[in-house]
Amino acid sequence: MISQGTDHYGDELTLRLSAIADTAPLHDDQTLVTFMRELVERIGMTVIAGPLVATEDGPPEKAGKSAVVILAESHAAVHTYPHLREIFVDVFSCKPFREEDVLAEFRRLVGDYEIAERKLTRRGEEWPRDITAARRLWSARRVHA
């Protein structure tokens, strides 16, 4: 489980999935809208806006779809490149979530794939949860800026 301690704000999981077995879902707006809703539901997040899907036309190496959903816990986004059989993924949350659940949802969407890139980043390690401490940190940084 990607866990959140009191020492950081949250976790950001970024992935590049390659060798996508079934690229058909990556061409379809409604499929991506449904997928984004199901993904964030599975990882226990709360949608506050979206999903929104946009199409990028152009040469095959740049053509694809982007889908994003704004969450009460932060955001989730995917960028698809069907002609390259690739997907870029970004899930950022202040609430713990399981990477295995994210990967399982993509397997359900496209079948087999390879993980070409994977990075888990602890975000906001100096970001205090206490509002008084946050004000002091902000004020100190503003004076030195």
Q: Answer whether residue 13 shows pLDDT above 90.
A: no
Rounded CA-CA distance 59/90 in Å is 24
DSSP string of the chain? -B---TTSSEEEEEEEEES-S--GGGG-HHHHHHHHHHHHHHTT--EEEEEEEEEE-SSTTT-EEEEEEEETTEEEEEEEEGGGTEEEEEEEESS-B-HHHHHHHHHHHHS--EEEEEEEEEE-TT--SSHHHHHHHHHHHHHH-
Give a yes or no: residue 1 inside a domain.
no
**Which is more confidently placed, 101 or 128?**
101
Number of domains composing the chain: 1
Which of 24-33, 86-95, 97-106 has the highest mean predicted lDDT (pLDDT)?
24-33
Specify the CATH number for the domain of residue 37.
3.60.90.10
What pLDDT, on a 0 to 100 scale, did the predictor assign at position 33? 94
pLDDT tens, position by position, 29-69: 999 999 999 989 888 888 888 899 999 988 888 899 999 99
Confidence (pTM): 0.76
Give a yes or no: residue 3 inside a domain.
no
Range of the domain at 24: 10-144
